[in-house]
Amino acid sequence: PRKRCGGFFGAGLAGNVMEMTIMTESKNPETLALHAGYRSDPATGAVAVPIYQTTSYQFNSPEHAANLFALKELGNIYTRIMNPTNVVLEQRIAALDGGAAALAVSSGQAASAIAIQNVAQVGDNVVSSTDLYGGTWNLFANTLKQQGIEVRFVDPADPEGFRSATDVKTRAYYAETLPNPKLTVFPIQEVADIGREFGIPLIMDNTAAPILCRPFDHGAAIIVYSTTKYIGGHGTSIGGLIVDGGNFDWEAHPDRQPLLNQPDPSYHGAVWAEAIKPLGPIAYIIKARVTLQRDLGAAVSPFNAFQTIQGLETLPLRIREHCRNADAVTEYLNRHDRVVKVIHPSLQGGEDRVRADKYLKGGYGGLVGLELKGGLEAGREFINALELFYHVANIGDARSLAIHPATTTHSQLTPEEQLATGVTDGYVRLSVGIEHIDDIIADLSQALDKAASASKITA
Ligand code: PLP
């Protein structure tokens, strides 16, 4: 059974400045999103989470300072490593996901990179699903490769592909819960189970399905988020989160996880899986914080963390509306005679649908893909004609958004790589917002008409 340890780097680190409660008694996301990790500021009584816009924290004495640096005592040192505003965000997401602890970082990209670098070093490899956000693909195929970490891509349709690609140097499995453009839900349990046989953690990017999917319930060990998307929800702040499920035994196969089980010269030879044990099952996230976050410095500003907390407070409500509107858009587009294909979990059959229904609860998410008659040209015209939808490289904003991935988010991939991730020439991605559904449909309708006349398509 999973042990919660929300206090460390929460109540512990911030205890001298904030009263922390994680409200473990409630399991309901609507309540946790508003209350987990914070009640009020003991200094002022402020109910909104204060923005602790400070770089540093006054030490009580030389001994206190030395103890903090030696991790003998827990408390705030420097905002690159921890900050009381950020701690609220970390505790809240850990509570929502049923995890043990979390680390807020400067972007979703930083979250993915650190999540891997925390377990893999030069000469190691990671097995990843092919169905990835284009930026993650680049990180894996190029940047991590240049750093000596090989990422082996496998088709997620067959979970056994992960087993086949595994060797003695495999340190992690990686996938997205609801990857776009394919929008086929990843077989979380199946792959997590294979990983646990070998001592390999499954890292899930749950950016597109927060609240709807709880990957720890299905055996994932680590979750990463781009909070830039649904969690922030208002398009104001780039940010990322890494959540530790506290449910993975890093010591079960010590040779498999050397970075957690061998002395770390960067911290006086600490063996993380051993040293952190008295604090709870949070060795992975503590190591990420006090080594990689310390050294690489991907800190999120407290102001951005505050904005993200504001978003998180209404996330369960917004997600419901995103799902409801996306269902209605799917139904509308599916009946439209100028649309060749609509991509949405509700239209899938077979194994894909079984997985969507198993792993997503409360809706199929806010993303919808479509292909128009007239391919690339019609797709471009359609995006150009949209008036309510914004044409942006983002998803998960409260506003409706659209983009043509082949020429934008996925343009740095080769044509073969684009196809492997599901991007075809005519594909348009919609991130359906929470405006009134009639206005969303009206905008799609007029844009489809304009695209049709521009590319002289007859229905
Ligand atoms: N993961 C997914 C699924 C994304 O869609 C994105 C961004 O588009 C990222 C990660 C990267 O996040 P960020 O842009 O916050 O670095």
The pLDDT tens digits for 213-254 are: 999 999 999 999 999 999 999 999 999 999 999 999 999 999
Tell the residue number behind the tokens 């649309």, with chain if given. 339
pLDDT at residue 24 above 70?
Answer: no
**Rounded to 5°, angle at Cα 22 from 18 and 26:** 150
Instruction: Count other C-beta atoms under 10 Å from residue 412's C-beta.
Output: 14
Between strands 125-129 and 150-154, the pairing is: parallel
Answer whether residue 49 shows pLDDT above 80: yes
Contact 14, 42 (CB under 8 A): no
Weakest-pLDDT range from 73-77, 289-293, 346-350: 73-77
Residue 205 near ligand 1, beta carbon < 6 Å = yes
Ligand 1 midpoint to CA 322 (Å): 18
Our answer on whether the CB atom of 235 is closer than 6 Å to any ligand 1 atom is: no
As a whole number of Å, the CA-based R_g of the chain is: 22
Whether a cis peptide bond, with omega within 30° of 0, leads into 215 is: no
Higher pLDDT, 42 or 155: 155
Assess whether pLDDT exceeds 50 at residue 377. yes
End-to-end CA distance of the chain: 57
Strands 401-403 and 390-391: parallel
pLDDT exceeds 60 at position 206: yes
Ligand 1 pocket mutation pick from 116, 136, 178 by most atoms within 8 angstroms of CB: 136
pLDDT of 168 reads 98
The tokens for 305 are 């963390």
The pair of three-digit structure tokens given for residue 289, joined into one six-digit string: 């914080």
In the chain, the amino acid numbered 264 is D
Residue type, 207: T
Question: What pLDDT, on the 0 to 100 scale, is given for residue 416?
Answer: 86
The answer on pLDDT for 451 being more than 70 is yes
Percent of the residues in the chain that have a pLDDT greater than 90, as a whole number: 81
pLDDT of residue 21: 46
State how far the Cα of 80 lies from the Cα of 33, in Å rounded to an integer: 25
Q: What are phi and psi of 271, to 5 degrees?
A: -100, 105
Question: 201: closest CA among 210, 192, 214, 212?
Answer: 192
pLDDT(132) > 50: yes
- pLDDT: is 380 or 157 the higher one? 157
Look at residue 181 and give its three-state secondary structure: coil
pLDDT at position 194: 98
> What token pair was written down for 367?
């993303």
Report residue 383's pLDDT band, with 50, 70 and 90 as the boundaries: very high
Nearest residue (by CA) to ligand 1, atom 8, is 394
| pLDDT at 15 exceeding the cut of 90 | no
- Between the alpha carbon of residue 447 and those of residues 7, 144, 151, 331, 451, the distances in Å are 51, 41, 40, 17, 6
How many percent of the chain have pLDDT more than 70? 94
Report how far ligand 1's centroid is from the alpha carbon of 294 (Å). Answer: 22
For ligand 1, atom 12: residue with the closest CA: 108
What residues form DSSP beta bridges with 263? Answer: none
User: Are the C-beta atoms of residues 155 and 186 closer than 8 Å to each other?
Assistant: no
Atom of ligand 1 nearest to the CA of 239: 15
pLDDT > 50? residue 14: no
User: From the CB of 109, is ligand 1 less than 6 Å away?
Assistant: yes
Q: Which is nearest to 96 in space by CA: 32, 31, 37?
A: 32
Arithmetic mean of pLDDT, 351-357: 97
Per-residue pLDDT for 77 more than 70?
Answer: yes
Q: How far apart are CA 154 and CA 317, in angstroms?
A: 35
Least confident of 62-71, 318-327, 450-459: 450-459
Are 288 and 114 spatial neighbours (Cβ–Cβ below 8 Å)? yes
176 lines ligand 1 (CB under 6 A): yes
State the average pLDDT for the chain.
Answer: 92
What pLDDT does 118 receive?
Answer: 98
**Ligand 1 center from residue 225 Cα (angstroms):** 7
Per-residue confidence band for 182, with pLDDT thresholds at 50, 70 and 90: very high
- Phi-psi category of residue 53: left, alpha or beta, with phi > 0 → left and psi -120 to 50 → alpha: beta
